[in-house]
Amino acid sequence: MLARNSEGLALTANADARRLRWPLRRRADAPIRGGQAESGLKRAHFTGSWLPFWLLAPQLFILLLFFFIPSVRALLQAFQLTDPFGATTQWVGFQNFERLFRSGVYWSSVQVTLLFTLAQNILTLSVALVLAFATNHIARGRGAYRTILLLPYAIAPAIAGIMLAFLFNPRVGPVAQMLQGLGFDWDPNRNSGHALALIVMAASWKHICYNYIFLVAALLSVPRSILESAYLDGAGPIQRFLRICLPMISPTLFFLVVINFVYGLFETFAIVDATTRGGPAGSTSILVYKVYQDGFVTLDLGSSAAQSVVLMALALALTFAQFRFIERRVNYSV
């Protein structure tokens, strides 16, 4: 039964191929002579040894300039105590790291970062999912909705941050005054939770569009035939979404979770700087913001370098985890 079925499929595929014009037919034929095609690929390598180097050079140069040199300098500086102007430099071994790991402020920053990235991830993904689900069910003006939803991505993080800080400012912000009018004592200047909520909102708002665009694409690629058969079996839109779409777009979800973590950990500095400046009392000072503050505001270069080395290690670990576990288990072709 099964064998016959597959034979039938193969037959229709051949029939299709016969109907195609010759250049495409050749491509369609290619897999049949798989061995030859592969050896053809293998043969297509560069003969001169310098050409690949020159082709790679521009990218390598940029990496060298903006990644390798700064990384090495950060690594060196993490073991030094240095005057901001560079007049005096002392090698201090692990003093900077010791100081860092002993400091309660650093650990509370770690805590804040965990809380922030988790909350940001959940909020971003769930809102983007709801929006993607909704636009998928809109018949008219889908393009307009999508464009509007994508707009925040074009706004600079600093502007997004300032705007939210202003809207939610307990003294002058219209949204804050609305909240206070409803009897909610909103004050991010005196309440760490409110301040954290504010940066989570700001960071998510900026990143929802990115998640949304991926989710819309993923939802579109869910085969209609399966959805239709579920429909015939009497599944409602929410059930179809939860039982069919969600499992089928799980690779995209996994990918977005990783991206959101990376975004929350490393790219939210500008938003924090514009929205709360890490305050009040360091309650929104996430790790990457602390690197900036200690390096460029308080000129504590040694500590800042040590912190960026820790972050570098974290980034490496995340990348490793992504390749080792997620990439291997998730099949990207939906």
Lookup: tokens for 331: 């099949």
Distance CA 213, CA 259 (A): 13
First to last CA, the chain: 27
Q: For residue 32, what are the contacts with CB-CB under 8 A and spacing of at least 6?
A: none
Residue type, 111: Q
Residue 98: CB minimum distance to another protein, A? 12
CA distances from 38 to 1, 52, 156 (A): 33, 21, 46
Out of 17, 122, 170, 258, the residue judged to bind another protein by CB under 8 A? 170
- Residue closer to another protein, measured from CB, 135 or 169: 169
Burial 202-236 (b: 16+ CB within 10 A, else e): bbbbbbbbbbbbbbbebbeebeeeebeebeeeebe
CA distances from 95 to 74, 216, 247, 300 (A): 15, 50, 49, 13
Residue 107: CB minimum distance to another protein, A? 14
Instruction: Confirm or reject binding of residue 294 to another protein (CB under 8 A).
Output: yes
Instruction: Confirm or reject binding of residue 87 to another protein (CB under 8 A).
Output: yes
Instruction: Confirm or reject binding of residue 155 to another protein (CB under 8 A).
Output: no
Instruction: Confirm or reject binding of residue 86 to another protein (CB under 8 A).
Output: yes
- Residue closer to another protein, measured from CB, 260 or 268: 268
Tell me which residue has tokens 């998730």. 330
CA atoms within 13 Å, Cβ hemisphere of 33 = 11
Helix (H, G, I), strand (E, B) or coil at 90: strand
Q: Are 267 and 286 in contact (CB under 8 A)?
A: no
Instruction: Confirm or reject binding of residue 4 to another protein (CB under 8 A).
Output: no
Instruction: Confirm or reject binding of residue 88 to another protein (CB under 8 A).
Output: yes
Residue 108: CB minimum distance to another protein, A? 10
Instruction: Tell me the residue length of the chain.
Output: 334
Q: Are 276 and 162 in contact (CB under 8 A)?
A: no
- Residue closer to another protein, measured from CB, 131 or 195: 195
Report DSSP letters for 61-89, one per residue: HHHIIIIIHHHHHHHHHTTEEE-TTSS-E
Residue 327: CB minimum distance to another protein, A? 39
Part of the chain binding another protein (CB under 8 A), chosen from 5-13, 41-49, 109-117, 189-197: 189-197
Instruction: Confirm or reject binding of residue 307 to another protein (CB under 8 A).
Output: no
Residue 283: CB minimum distance to another protein, A? 8
Residue 188: CB minimum distance to another protein, A? 7
Residue 157: CB minimum distance to another protein, A? 14
Mark 101-120 with x for binding to another protein (rule: CB under 8 A) and - for no binding.
----x---------------
Classify residue 44 by burial, with Cβ atoms within 10 Å: 0-12, 13-18, 19+. exposed
**Total residues binding another protein (CB under 8 A):** 40
Instruction: Confirm or reject binding of residue 300 to another protein (CB under 8 A).
Output: yes
Mark 190-209 with x for binding to another protein (rule: CB under 8 A) and - for no binding.
xxx-----------------
Residue 82: CB minimum distance to another protein, A? 8
Residue 181: CB minimum distance to another protein, A? 14
Instruction: Confirm or reject binding of residue 274 to another protein (CB under 8 A).
Output: yes
- Residues in contact with another protein by the rule CB under 8 A: 81-88, 90, 99, 105, 162, 165-166, 169-173, 188-192, 274-277, 279-283, 293-294, 296-300
